[in-house]
Structure 1
Amino acid sequence: MLAKMTAKNQITLPKAIVSQVPPAEYFEVEAVGDRIVLTPVRVSKADAVRAKLDELGITEQDIDDAVKWARGRS
């Protein structure tokens, strides 16, 4: 089955293929040799936020300090 990639690197997955896997909004993407492998994953919004904070190196103490600063308490 063919799928065309747009100029913005977007691909529409064929319904016949998507219907064969569990429903998912996010996919883990990896290159394996000359193939692109998509694996459906379930990500809660909280997990996504925690992952972004980890990626940025923001700690719980940083968040506590920011909240105190915003509330006017140092």
Structure 2
Amino acid sequence: MLAKMTSKNQLTLPKSVTEAVGAGPYFEVEARNGQIILTPVRIQRADAVRAKLAELDLTEQDVADAVAWAREHVDSPRGKQ
């Protein structure tokens, strides 16, 4: 299958290809041995982060406390080691 690159370095991937790999809106792109490798990537959404926090039994207050603690210590001599 051919895909033509536009003058703005854009490609349109054939629908049959994206359907075959379950592609989303983002791809990891790498060059390997003269080939361009596109790998579909799923970006984790905030809901996934919240689910992980719940799994770890961390509350929003725990996160806020950790951020406050880190901000206090980044400016201290111990934080600049």
* TM-score, structure 1 normalization: 0.58
Q: C-alpha displacement at 1:23, in angstroms?
A: 3.4
How many residue pairs align between the two structures? Answer: 49
Amino acid at match of 1:37: I
**Larger Cα Rg: Structure 1 or Structure 2?**
2
Amino acid at match of 2:20: Q
Q: Percent identical across equivalent pairs?
A: 55
Question: Residue in 2 aligned with 1:2?
Answer: 2
Q: Deviations over 1:15-65 (max 9, x none)?
A: 11111012311000000111000000101355xxxxxxxxxxxxx67xx6x
Question: Residue in 1 aligned with 2:36?
Answer: 36
Unaligned runs of 5+ in 2: 47-66, 72-81
Larger helix proportion of the pair: 2
RMSD: 1.9
Unaligned runs of 5+ in 1: 47-59, 65-74
Runs of 4+ in 1 over 6 A off after TM superposition: none
| Mapped partners of 1:29, 1:8: distance in 2 | 17
| Mapped partners of 1:37, 1:25: distance in 2 | 16
Question: Residue in 2 aligned with 1:25?
Answer: 25
* TM-score, structure 2 normalization: 0.53
